[in-house]
Amino acid sequence: MRIGIDARFFGPKDKGFGRYTENLIRELEKIDNVNEYFIFLRENSWQDYESENPNFHKVPANYRWYGIKEQIFLPMKFKKYNLDLMHFTHFNTPIFYKGRFIVTIH
């Protein structure tokens, strides 16, 4: 499967959401060598993530939450990667995204 993870919250500087997202990705890297993952990151987190698993790919997604760009351009970016499943680690999902997705509610 081709799985996307919205990691625009990533790492300790993004508090609880960021820690959850970072830990989720790090643990998935250890156990999953079958699926292909696309990790959508903001510019401020780009340097914080380096994958040790060749099935995990960084994708720039420098869109702020709750904005029009998130609602319009982010779904277009997801579509470009032909994802089978998208995981949103924050409750805000783009309303124009028509693919299969799951949401983590904290």
Mean pLDDT (10-residue bins), the chain, 106 residues: 96 79 96 98 93 96 89 95 96 90 91
Confidence at residue 26, expressed as pLDDT on a 0 to 100 scale: 96
Confidence at residue 17, expressed as pLDDT on a 0 to 100 scale: 84
Positive or negative, the Cα torsion across 48, 88, 79, 52?
A: positive
Q: Which CATH number fits domain 2-103: 3.40.50, 2.30.30, 2.60.40, 3.30.70?
A: 3.40.50
Cβ atoms of residues 21 and 9 within 8 Å: yes
User: Which residues are CB-contacts of 59 (< 8 A; sequence separation ≥ 6)?
Assistant: 4, 38, 39, 40, 41, 77, 81
Does the pTM exceed 0.85?
Answer: yes
